[in-house]
């Protein structure tokens, strides 16, 4: 398996693009993105568990009922959530795009991100769909990735290739997400494409299984968005024998999918709103996988831990505190904690108690941009990893006037 360039257009048969259609006030910012396959695809998706859902999610879920899609259209700047005419706009957008592409309306995935509860009209989409279709190209992944950004500071793209049945198969993806990230299914908006031949049922099985250990283990600020969605399109143009049941080929595909989703998870966490540091919590020695996940996610979600990491403060008691309320079955008298970065590693807690350590060395380790909080529970063999970012003054500044 190797990393390749191209993002969502790396796989055979996919093109993408992005334009400014007028949803955002700034004409220099793309706000409408498109991903298109030259042939219909097996499709799978997971959606936010928030009871408040953006209209595009409702429309997309209906469109994907048959497990087939051919295009994804995504806007930024307005979440199209809590609007009386939201579903109508999402359906009209699908129809406009389908007409220009010459495909079925129900084969369109529609998604939105931005401010919740803002009035929206179909006018920007009427203006933007034709230029958007004309912008489609094999090198359009960066433009699509840019078009779906909100408070993101960097585009998030990745792709890998591998071999199945003697055929080269590619999986690529783009994502957006910087704030309002604490998913329970996916993270903000993620679009993954592949030329692997795989049935809709097996594609859904692969995605639903993967998100439990990837996107569900990311947290920036503890808020689960109304518009979270991960979509995977597989057009089969690689020519491998179609995956219709579990086996070695399915395992290989799962590994490739996971390499893409993990990379996107790390990119999302590192680009948390106002973040200065990327945090990874590694939990080993848990009784069960569930316990490991609970402990890791609690540490990453702790505002006190995140604030301590921002200040490069080795306040390990906050880590133990988070584990204690995580709901994990843990013997707190066995817990070890260490802080690690490229500057080194330092043990700060052993068997649930303090140990002598140099605050100066700890400060140096925690002053790096990427930090690992290593937790050993000494209770079993299970392990898990969660990702997040530090909590900074800028996070409050960004969200204090996000709408106005």
User: CB under 8 Å to 317, separation ≥6 — which residues?
Assistant: none
The length of the chain in residues reads: 404
Question: What are the C-alpha distances in Å from 156 to residues 125, 181, 240?
Answer: 24, 15, 28
187, 226, 372, 392: the active-site residue: 187
Helical spans, DSSP H, in 182-340: 200-211, 248-270, 289-301, 303-310, 317-325
Helix and strand element counts for the chain (H, E): 11, 16
Q: Tell me how far apart the alpha carbons of residues 301 and 277 are, in angstroms, rounded to a whole number.
A: 14
N- to C-terminal Cα separation, the chain: 46
Structural contact between residues 274 and 302, judged by C-beta atoms closer than 8 angstroms: no
Q: Are 368 and 348 in contact (CB under 8 A)?
A: no
Distance CA 10, CA 6 (A): 4
For 282, residues 6+ apart whose C-beta sits below 8 A from its C-beta are: 296, 372, 373, 374, 375, 383, 385
Cβ neighbourhood burial of 87 (10 Å; 0-12, 13-18, 19+): middle
Is residue 187 annotated as part of the catalytic site, yes or no? yes
DSSP characters over 388-402: EE---HHHHHHHHSS
Q: Confirm if 4 and 170 have CB atoms less than 8 A apart.
A: yes
- Residue 150 is encoded by which pair of tokens? 């909100």
C-beta separation of 72 from 35 below 8 A: yes
3-state SS assignment for residue 232: strand
In this structure, are residues 297 and 326 in contact, taking their beta carbons and an 8 Å threshold?
Answer: yes
Cβ atoms within 10 Å of 195's Cβ, excluding its own: 27
User: What positions carry a catalytic annotation?
Assistant: 187
């Amino acid at each position: 398996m190797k990393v390749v360039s191209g993002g969502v257009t790396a796989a055979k048969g996919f093109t993408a693009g992005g334009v400014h259609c007028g949803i955002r006030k700034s004409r220099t910012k793309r706000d409408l993105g498109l991903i298109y396959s030259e042939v219909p695809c097996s499709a799978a998706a997971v959606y936010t568990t928030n009871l408040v859902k953006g209209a595009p999610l409702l429309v997309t879920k209906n469109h994907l009922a048959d497990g087939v899609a051919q295009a994804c259209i995504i806007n930024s700047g307005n979440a199209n959530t809590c609007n009386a005419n939201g579903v109508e706009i999402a359906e009209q957008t699908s129809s406009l795009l389908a007409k220009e592409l010459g495909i079925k309306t129900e084969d369109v995935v529609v998604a939105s991100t931005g401010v919740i509860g803002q009035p929206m009209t179909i006018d920007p989409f009427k203006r933007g769909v034709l230029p958007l279709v004309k912008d489609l190209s094999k090198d359009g992944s960066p433009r699509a990735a840019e078009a779906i950004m909100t408070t993101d500071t960097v585009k998030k793209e990745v792709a890998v290739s591998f071999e199945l049945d003697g055929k080269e198969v590619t999986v690529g993806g783009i994502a957006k997400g910087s704030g309002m990230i604490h998913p329970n299914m996916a993270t903000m908006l993620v679009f993954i494409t592949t030329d692997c031949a795989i049935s809709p049922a097996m594609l859904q099985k692969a995605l639903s299984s993967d998100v439990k250990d990837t996107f569900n283990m990311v947290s920036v600020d503890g808020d689960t968005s109304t518009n979270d969605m991960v979509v995977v399109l597989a057009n089969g143009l690689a020519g491998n024998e179609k995956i219709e049941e579990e086996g070695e080929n399915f395992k290989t595909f799962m590994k490739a999918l996971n390499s893409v989703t993990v990379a996107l998870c790390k990119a999302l966490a590192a680009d948390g709103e106002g973040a200065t540091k990327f945090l990874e919590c590694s939990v080993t020695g848990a009784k069960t996988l569930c316990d490991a996940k609970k402990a890791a996610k609690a540490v990453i979600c702790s505002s006190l831990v995140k604030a301590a990491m921002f200040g490069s403060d080795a306040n390990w008691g906050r880590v133990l505190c988070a584990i204690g309320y995580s709901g994990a079955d843990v013997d707190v008298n066995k817990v070890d904690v260490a802080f690690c970065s490229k500057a080194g590693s330092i043990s700060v807690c052993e068997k649930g108690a303090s140990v002598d350590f140099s605050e100066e060395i700890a400060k140096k380790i925690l002053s790096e941009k990427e930090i690992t909080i290593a937790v050993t529970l000494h209770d079993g063999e299970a392990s898990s990893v969660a990702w997040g970012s530090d909590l900074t003054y800028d996070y409050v500044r960004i969200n204090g006037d996000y709408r106005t």
